[in-house]
Chain A
């Protein structure tokens, strides 16, 4: 569904992604992991077209994303921090986003209801708390029944109840055959939500396989410890990467 082909990206002299190749398939959910500054967000932004790669291409549902914007109507994106026009009301924001996808007529309004956003449609964005904004971001990401969902730290700042609601929603969408890509610092959450693990380290793919394979390789039963082991390795020696990534 998404194939990342030979993507390289430099910010100035800093090489963030090096000859990156990845395949994301429909019906699977991916946990994108790596230490701070490893290039997770850059990769997501490249897929979304917000960052332009120096080299390589990305194919989304068969089309290159170069000079293309239509493919984004099939991506639901929940940013790490959702910032919206201050003077816009929630309801207006939703209408505006719907306005940008005129071809989509049916909306998934489930989260709006469960988050109780329908009670505050007239509230301007700048009066909202960080958590409510996050709820708005989540509602927007799922609103258009997009085939691809990219969620950047989706649960950060949400109250526990909302976290549960969101997790259930993610699971539901995953089970209905969508491609889901999540980055998170909360590893337990990733264990619950994803079946594929991608670990990025210093611009390279350090690990890319199913969660089961990860547990097997590291010899750990629990996802969190498996990841911790992975991080240990990655820090120790770089040559591990070559053998690991081809397991």
Chain B
């Protein structure tokens, strides 16, 4: 496993994409720091990058990588190694590369100009969403044999979770505004990893507004560590289930 990962990682880190993505992240971070006068504004500008751009890049890159590496995967499958390890080494390499780009890209500007807790949490959310969308992309990839189709599915995941889903929730809230839907909305939001990342951030940036929710349940949820804990554990579920499902399918997939 570790050997496989070592080689997958070596390959991916030397790819042109890894370098371009890291440079892109550095440029984004530097420009955000240059434009924003304080750290609070930095985290606001970062939020949209982490919630929109990072998942998009993760989804497209992971799908492309899976198919570009298909022959290598086949080569590995003919070697005396476990299928599970072939899969894990591939996805871990993708995840490590994506996370490293975020960490390096933002780490250097942060070391130079400082960071606060919410920026660090944002980076964690960016990494978590990278993993979620890399997982979904691998799931799309193992479900189909066609690269274009897989990229299509990955992109649909992205569009669905970052745009359509919220529109649907907003529509639901709006058209059923006469009913007490707070709990329903909150649980709906948990079914979407992008929203989940956003809620974790809201709990940092906008807790005062969230505390405006009526009901002891919400006071308890947002007011204590409970909300953060629950959100993070559901995020963990989001991180694990696409990868686990993709791995199950990969293990019985024909190459």
Contact = CB atoms under 8 A, between A and B. Distances in A.
Given A49-B78, A50-B254, A82-B75, 5 more contacts: A51-B255, A69-B80, A85-B7, A88-B7, A92-B7
Contacts of A163: none
A204 B222 CA distance: 66
Interface in B59-86: 69, 71-72, 74-75, 77-83
Interface in B5-32: 7-8, 10-11, 14-15
**Majority SS at the chain A contact face:** loop
Interface of A: 11, 45, 48-52, 69-73, 75, 77, 79, 81-88, 92, 96-97, 99-101
B3 A69 contact: no
B80 A101 contact: yes
A49 B77 contact: yes
B86 to A, nearest CB: 10
Interface of B: 3-4, 7-8, 10-11, 14-15, 69, 71-72, 74-75, 77-83, 252-255
Contact of A83 (B7, B75, B83, B252): B75
A70 B80 contact: yes
A97 B78 CA distance: 11
B84 to A, nearest CB: 10
B72 A87 contact: no
Contacts of B74: 50, 79, 83
Contacts of B15: 86-87
B79 A72 contact: yes
Contacts of B80: 69-73, 100-101
A124 to B, nearest CB: 9
Nearest to B70: A83
A45 B254 contact: yes
Given A70-B80, A97-B79, A45 B255 contact: yes
B247 to A, nearest CB: 14
Nearest to A78: B78
A83 B78 contact: no
B77 A81 contact: no
Contacts of B7: 85, 88, 92, 96, 99
A98 to B, nearest CB: 10
A50 B78 contact: yes
Contacts, number: 74
A48 B72 contact: no
Given A84-B71, A88-B10, A69 B254 contact: no
B217 to A, nearest CB: 47
Nearest to A124: B14
Given A49-B77, A100-B80, A88 B255 contact: no
The 4 closest A-B pairs by CB, nearest first: A83-B71, A73-B80, A87-B14, A85-B11
B225 to A, nearest CB: 43
Contacts of A69: 80-83
A157 to B, nearest CB: 15
A65 to B, nearest CB: 11
Given A51-B255, A88-B7, A83 B72 contact: yes
B3 A84 contact: no
A84 B70 CA distance: 10
A8 B223 CA distance: 60
A45 B14 CA distance: 30
Contact of B78 (A75, A86, A92, A96): A75
30 contacts: A45-B254, A45-B255, A49-B77, A50-B74, A50-B255, A51-B254, A52-B253, A69-B81, A69-B83, A71-B80, A72-B81, A73-B79, A77-B78, A79-B74, A79-B75, A83-B71, A83-B72, A84-B71, A84-B72, A85-B7, A85-B8, A85-B10, A85-B11, A85-B69, A86-B11, A86-B15, A92-B10, A96-B3, A99-B3, A99-B7
